[in-house]
Chain A
């Protein structure tokens, strides 16, 4: 096994999650009350609405070395603030383009609709992100001083 392969398989990705207060954060709470187990890799920051997630949050997380970022919002049409999730969606499409241009990996940014009743979906989402991020390997930005 080469050195590179080893890091890929062994590393534990660090995921930063921005969850909207009304749907996704409540969904994550439900995963808790239902005792659904998922990998301990995510750190959740509660925001009022997915539409309030500034691109700078995502950029900062990635530049500082987060291996993946999750933005969780209400399902289309269900936004507590009418249309914040649509704003999040538009912003993320643009952001992924910009990340690609900058040579960063847009696959590290995840946007998911998770409702307050979808505890299982939240747990599955975290599992999926961790698995996929392991395949991608650590965020190269983490070791920028070694480049």
Chain B
């Protein structure tokens, strides 16, 4: 006989403040087959769990209905609780009266109580026919994949490799390093960015457990947690990397030398068609840009291509083709970083009106000693001396029409640049920072801000409405300082815009490949904003760094290590428990029509050659329920989510 216990959580006042708990307990206790109903302040707490366990023993409960928050939050918690008390963990049903009721009907207490009653009745009705299920074990692949080799991807890979796991690190650019490699110094300690990054890049290159796949992209992901099949496209570099020793002779003789826009220098410098992104690149192997190389574009390059002539190792190979590589991994970490918003979308800032209006990333390259000017700050338009520089913060950030969120690095990057400029150009240079609010929240950030504030940098609280470029190339703008209530006119030799950080322009494609979600801002969505910041909706896939949202280097590194330890939690196991809430076929009903086989996206269904009846591959089935809805003879059954159960829930509503 079914004996159901109903446990109603107050969740402090979250539920109890809206729903009439006493009435709900009274109502629940009168439902069919309910032998016990009670309430508790916090059901998920230890004493709450004890309430459930004691009731299971005392009343010999066979099914448990917990009426509290979303099952997406606490289903595993309560499953463990009833398992401790000797029940099968799948004999639990939850009614969500917090997220779906008390929190969204705060001012309608009567209606909310009525709704809660119906939700409980639905859950009780379903729980009657819940079946005890048994999880089965599946083997785990012990290797991991990391996508993106910026600082977050590098950190995650090193953590996993150090723990003894094999890591495939995929990077689409010819070198690892990401955005951090482009930076000159890092705030607030003013460490040289390369000096702290390059050793880590070398560690990646040298580590026996890391297989580095640069100039490659992930194109397909199949399978599930513990056992993903991944396809990686290896783009042709047109250089045999086994032979190339990175001497760079080829780039010196390339006919396109000094004619190709250099992406690494944000377009401020020029490179050849055969290139390495920067001199500390890992791996230090040359790549031919297929969109710029004359030989690849037109089939000829003078008498004979000079790069091929000069390369004594014979590494140049114009015939090289794209290769597909198949990997098998247990867990995936995504660390694909961010794009800088194109300030051209904001006409008023005149980004394309003058070469002297640049972004802060361009400024990083300008001030970097490895940059196109070797760190010398000169006006870009005419090479004249720079006497005044203005920084405009929040370009596109904290703007309801563009990006609503804060970029989290803009303030500190401008303060850092102000410090560096003072260092490079002395006391004469006139520095202005136009800000909205200075957000210096990190460790040591406020102290750094104070150093700049106490110096002679002008901090203006306001955004210029328009930046004017005069005919002679000079730049000026008006800005209303809301602190002094004065309209200021500013002339500047150089204007540095600090644009919003936005998701990678093709992050949507990757989210579809990995079946992870994106937030409304377009960044990858974490499972829980506080408690699962590195998890995604897909088990076994984790996110780290700016692909989840803007963050500074310390936060990106911390999240990367977090993601790595979550991934370790999977790949260090021998076996994983597989969800038993999958499809099942009633052999007495199935006629072997094969509709389910066409419908199944995971090839988990096939017809038994002997019996002619459809079968379910328990390892491949993910329990989506597509075949259940498709089966014309009602032979497919979704365990603990059966048609009968759902129809009964519907009946309970009406």
Contacts and interface: CB of A to CB of B under 8 A. Distances in A.
Contacts of B519: 117
A138 B233 CA distance: 56
A87 B99 contact: no
Contacts of A31: 99, 104
Interface stretch (A48-56, A102-110, A129-137): A48-56
B70 A29 contact: yes
Interface stretch (B115-123, B289-297, B465-473): B115-123
Contacts of A81: 601-602, 622, 624, 626
A25 B623 contact: no
A65 B537 contact: no
B511 A78 contact: yes
Interface in A78-98: 78-84, 87, 91
B525 to A, nearest CB: 6
B626 A84 contact: yes
A78 B517 contact: yes
B202 interface: no
Interface in A38-95: 38, 40, 43-49, 51-57, 60-61, 64-66, 74, 77-84, 87, 91
A27 to B, nearest CB: 10
Contact of B629 (A22, A38, A54, A116): A54
Interface of A: 14, 16, 21-23, 25-26, 28-29, 31-33, 35-38, 40, 43-49, 51-57, 60-61, 64-66, 74, 77-84, 87, 91, 115-118, 123
Nearest to A64: B654
Interface stretch (B105-113, B302-310, B407-415): B105-113
Contact of A43 (B73, B111, B118, B628): B118
A46 B654 CA distance: 17
Given A61-B650, A81-B622, 4 more contacts: A54-B629, A65-B654, A78-B517, A83-B601
Contacts of B646: 45, 47, 54, 57
A130 B205 CA distance: 60
A103 to B, nearest CB: 20
B647 interface: yes
B628 A21 contact: no
B653 interface: yes
Contact of A82 (B71, B515, B518, B520): B515
A60 B622 contact: no
A44 B275 CA distance: 57
B417 interface: no
Nearest to A12: B111
B625 A52 contact: yes
A56 B103 contact: no
B122 A45 contact: yes
Interface in B611-632: 622-626, 628-630
A60 to B, nearest CB: 5
Given A40-B111, A116-B537, A117-B517, A66 B653 contact: yes
A62 to B, nearest CB: 10
12 contacts: A14-B653, A35-B104, A45-B649, A54-B629, A57-B647, A64-B650, A74-B517, A78-B511, A84-B601, A116-B517, A117-B520, A123-B104
A51 B512 contact: no
Contact of A38 (B104, B581, B626): B104
B517 A23 contact: yes
A143 B122 CA distance: 23
Contacts of B99: 28-29, 31-33
Contact of B630 (A25, A29, A87): A87
B486 interface: no
B643 interface: yes
A52 B649 CA distance: 16
Interface of B: 70-73, 96, 98-101, 103-108, 111-112, 114-115, 118-119, 122, 511-512, 515, 517-520, 525, 537-538, 581, 599, 601-602, 622-626, 628-630, 638, 641, 643, 646-647, 649-651, 653-654
B110 to A, nearest CB: 9
A4 to B, nearest CB: 22
Contacts of B103: 32-33, 35
Contact of B96 (A44, A52, A64): A44
Contacts of A37: 104-107
A133 to B, nearest CB: 14
Contacts of B649: 45
A133 B568 CA distance: 51
A28 B97 CA distance: 12
A44 B512 CA distance: 26
A40 B107 CA distance: 11
Nearest to A81: B624
B298 to A, nearest CB: 38
A14 B650 contact: no
A32 B646 CA distance: 23
B23 to A, nearest CB: 16
B96 A48 contact: no
B21 to A, nearest CB: 17
Contacts of A116: 517, 525, 537
Contacts of A115: 517-518
Contacts of B119: 43
A61 B537 contact: no
Contacts of B111: 40
A108 B540 CA distance: 39
Contacts of A36: 104
Nearest to B538: A80
Given A61-B650, A83-B601, A87-B630, A28 B100 contact: yes
A16 B651 CA distance: 10
A80 B626 contact: no
A49 B490 CA distance: 58
Contact of A21 (B72, B107, B626, B638): B72
A44 B99 CA distance: 11
A54 B628 contact: yes
Contacts of B106: 35, 37
A31 B624 CA distance: 24
Nearest to B108: A40
* Max chain B C-beta neighbours (<10 A), residue from A29, A53, A83, A91: A29
B632 to A, nearest CB: 11
B100 A78 contact: no
Given A26-B537, A29-B70, A60-B650, A48 B624 contact: yes
